[in-house]
Amino acid sequence: MTPETTTSDAALQHLRDQVSETDRAIVDLVNRRLDLVRRIWRRKEELGLEVVDPQREARLLEELEQASSGALSGNGLRELHAYLLALTKRELDR
């Protein structure tokens, strides 16, 4: 298959468009999550609570593992969860 054939295939382009749309949705959701966690952290600080709650993080992972029914493996989900938590903490600490 030549590069011209690959880029001009309508079905392939449609799938690529769907991936791009999904990626934009993921970015929007991560931004929404950051905003929500920022609000949670502020409220916890007002209440004199620790902002990081390892028990809550573990419960969230368990909930996600139960809810995941797609192609994402258990290991992949755990990696994604760990990365998302680290990213959140890094972004909100800056």
Tens place of pLDDT for every residue, the chain, 94 residues? 565 555 679 999 999 999 999 999 999 999 999 999 999 999 999 999 999 999 999 999 999 999 999 999 999 999 999 999 999 999 999 8
* CA 31 – CA 15 distance, rounded (Å): 24
pTM: 0.83
Tell me if 6 sits within 8 A of 12, measured CB to CB. yes
What's residue 94's pLDDT? 82
What's residue 8's pLDDT? 76
What's residue 3's pLDDT? 59
For 11, 15, 22, 73, 78, the CA distances from 18, given in Å and listed in that order, are 11, 5, 6, 22, 25
